[in-house]
Amino acid sequence: MDSKDYLPYILDAIPYPIVFVDTIHTIRYLNRRAKYHYYQERGYQDLIGKSIFDCHSEISKKKLDEVLTRFKNHGQEQFLTVSPRNERVYISPVRDEKGRLLGYFERFEANFTKA
């Protein structure tokens, strides 16, 4: 198996949703957890190839546009919000070997607090 063939399995092993979106906000990839979150829990269907804005609020749309502008200016990972499940949501740029922006991905992280 070629090393690139492992990538979907690696991404599916991550227990949080990962959504890759290109520079025109089109969803290009959902890992297994993201598919479950958006398809089973939130009731969306067939998001691959659709705009990320189809499943985000107007406030989120504005934030995503602002973050994409920062990424185009060589910005790094950005904290976006805390989800209703108390997960921190980050957006990270994805660049090719020449540093060109290909898109971004959302990643969710458990937000553990001490009692």
Q: Residue ranges of the domains in the chain?
A: 17-100
**pTM value?**
0.84
Per-residue pLDDT of 1-59, as tens digits, reads: 888 889 999 999 998 889 999 999 999 999 999 999 889 998 999 999 999 998 888 88
Residue-wise pLDDT tens digits, 60-100: 888 889 999 999 999 999 998 888 888 888 999 999 999 99
How big is the CA angle at 24 (ends 61 and 30), to the nearest 5 degrees? 80
**Residue in this structure with the two tokens 């934030």, named with its chain if needed:** 63
Cβ neighbours of 23 (radius 10 Å): 15
Q: How far apart are CA 79 and CA 101, in angstroms?
A: 18
Architecture of domain 17-100: 2-Layer Sandwich (3.30)
The helix/strand/coil state of 39 is: helix
